[in-house]
Structure 1
């Protein structure tokens, strides 16, 4: 295994952000489809993509893709793929599946057929009739979409949102991958003040701190493919060394998270400590109506309560109106607010500069973006500084 084709899976609405992250890692042969970003690279990309991708759900190794409308066709075409080149004789290779708008709609039957085909393929190579499957895990997925079968092997293990720092969580926590996406979409820079007045367990401020100091989100966790014999240990060692070399621990940050729930604030502080960024974030128990800042420019990024239950809706609508009043005091700041309410803009009292459709779990939401005035360019010797970046004059 040298050159590989990888698929970074993504939540609906985040595909373009994942694609940009892949390109930022230096991989240019990138294609984007609903729910996935496909790219080709060398073997080290399995290590680097898992360590660095902030907004992808997981990284899959693509084994093959073909049309299949019968079980015989699925079996024969699966068997013809180079499984023995990828999977060792002692591997544990479970099969999972999904089928959307396909003739072969029985997922359990498709899984069984793929499993049998892989076993038959490996029998020929390893000259055995039985595989004990006690070794490293190679989880295979058969994904059928409109009769096109895509066979992949998961390289990640637990999803990429499992950073390892959120051992405690408040009610309805936002996924780390989505929180990172909200920060990236805001185009926040590390020298800009950031405030989350509904911080809950602290996920948005923590993800911002990791971004601000260029800390790889997967730095402190393990991945299932680290145990694959086909990926030299040296590649993982080099990839992990890169995460340490590129981290900018000296970057000062001004990030605040507030919440009316004292227990949530305690959890947020603990999570930030687990992530190693607690000294860069100030968490405080406070109602959003009390927020203020001495900073003239900054960004509010938040995921306030949605009020999915009908009984809560009136209170939530009242809160959105109050948010509009409170946030208006930050007249030179930008606001980025996630909400599922279809009339959020009218309740907030102002149309958004831009909005983007996303999903928070199974909830369809919009990301309302209110752009404030751009900070003036700062002169520093012979350079003009804008948002902390030096521009030649």
Structure 2
């Protein structure tokens, strides 16, 4: 996922950093990193250089002043953010990405398959971008993962859960009908964002 797409997925959830966040299939960590940035109230694009900085009519002091103002509004304390994946090698990439984004200390990475995932946390948000199984040989593996997700994650009923996939049969294999779903395009690929709203404890 691109960073802005992942950030948009998070914006469609109640997550604000005051309750736990879980990405149980984190891959390179994009969703968890964007969640950490939101939890810390880091302004989008705060590290970027912009072309207008070099315009001769632009006040050179204005941009740095606004950056400092934004940094002053950042937060250090937030609820736990967990990111797990079955593949240790890709978790190492996720760690590097989190370090580069300045949020490595804000995310707890762990190697674990989704079928073995467990947590004592409650009343949070789960977002995952599981494999789509677009190729015929990958479809059965993806469907098996959806079943494992359902068996493991449906139990976490106090969490609002959000899953992005292009498989129109996701609900069947997950084992529950979504509260709501929204259509998106991930690049040129049509996907659905399956939303399962929480039963708060």
Shorter-chain TM band: over 0.9
State the shift of 1:291 in Å: 0.8
1:229 aligns with 2:56: yes
Structure 2: distance between partners of 1:175 and 1:323: 23
State the shift of 1:198 in Å: 0.7
Once the two structures are superposed, the pairs formed by residues 249-264 of structure 1 within 5 Å of their partners are: 250-264=76-90
Task: Point out the structure with the larger strand share.
Answer: 1
Q: Which residue in 2 is equivalent to 1:190?
A: 17
Secondary structure in 2 matching 1:325: helix
State the shift of 1:209 in Å: 0.6
Larger Rg: 1
1:280 aligns with 2:97: no
Q: Which runs of 4+ in 1 moved over 6 A?
A: none
1:361 aligns with 2:157: no
Q: Is the 8 A contact 1:209 1:253 kept in 2?
A: no
Q: Which residue in 1 is equivalent to 2:147?
A: 321
Once the two structures are superposed, the pairs formed by residues 53-92 of structure 1 within 5 Å of their partners are: none
Q: Is the 8 A contact 1:354 1:369 kept in 2?
A: yes
1:267 aligns with 2:93: yes
Once the two structures are superposed, the pairs formed by residues 1-393 of structure 1 within 5 Å of their partners are: 174-248=1-75, 250-375=76-201
Secondary structure in 1 matching 2:61: helix
1:231-279 Cα offsets, whole Å, 9 max, x none, are 221221222122212212x223300100111111001111111111111
Structure 1: distance between partners of 2:43 and 2:124: 24
Structure 2: distance between partners of 1:326 and 1:279: 27
Q: Point out where structure 1 has 5 or more consecutive residues left out of the alignment.
A: 1-173, 376-393
Secondary structure in 2 matching 1:257: strand
State the shift of 1:362 in Å: 1.5
1:29-50 Cα offsets, whole Å, 9 max, x none, are xxxxxxxxxxxxxxxxxxxxxx
Secondary structure in 1 matching 2:183: strand
Secondary structure in 2 matching 1:330: coil
- Give the TM-score taking structure 1 as reference length: 0.50
Secondary structure in 1 matching 2:194: strand
Structure 2: distance between partners of 1:270 and 1:347: 33
Secondary structure in 2 matching 1:233: coil
Structure 1: distance between partners of 2:82 and 2:108: 5
Q: Is the 8 A contact 2:20 2:122 kept in 1?
A: no
Q: Which residue in 2 is equivalent to 1:144?
A: none
